[in-house]
Structure 1
Amino acid sequence: MSDTDTFLRLAFAQSPAAEANAAMARIREEQGDAKSYEFVLPDKEVRAFLLERTLPRLVDYLESVGARLPGCGGVFLSVFAGDTLHFLHARDAVSLLSEWSGLSLDELKRRYGPNRT
């Protein structure tokens, strides 16, 4: 299974990308007025993109808005891949990326959180 498939398999819902605004509004409401963290998944080198570019920014964002690891409450990811929008719980994505990176959740917070040490 490709890294893209492994990552997107975490999705709890999908929508055509052309209907992104309505779909995100629906998911926000269904998730109790949750926040959406959005990005476009590249066609190539997905694991490197997720670990080097997305993970540091995502951890910083989550910790900054009070959606603390490991639960990441109140945040879901809206991931555009091709013509489909995939919705993932932030906690599931962070868990997988933690595993891929070999870093514990505590180490992710230390390295990438707003209070970096």
Structure 2
Amino acid sequence: MRHAKGHLGVRACARVLLAGAALLMILPLGGCATSSTPAPEATSQFHNTYNYLPVNDVPHDDPRPVLSVEQQEKLRKELAAVRDRQLPAAAKAAAAKPAATGSVSSAAK
């Protein structure tokens, strides 16, 4: 049996590939071991840099009057009317888009 110099057998080649794959899988984990943040000093105190309100600081009362039931109902009706006016315009715009691109809509068939 003659072996050419520099050639590996199938098993040896598979072992080399497995070892290389294992090393490549370990490399990304090395980044988890380091940190870019400086280490805290043992003598320093924790300083809060956030601007939280004190616990006992409550918001002031709203000076605006509360809407009456009639005003609330009137506002609901106005909002519903605006919504109903916008729905047909949105439907027309959606129907015009496929026609502008050259395709035939299913409603036109």
More strand by share: 1
Q: Which has the higher contact order (CA 8 A, sep 6+)?
A: 1
Q: Same fold (TM over 0.5)?
A: no
The alignment's TM-score, normalised by the length of structure 2, stands at: 0.20
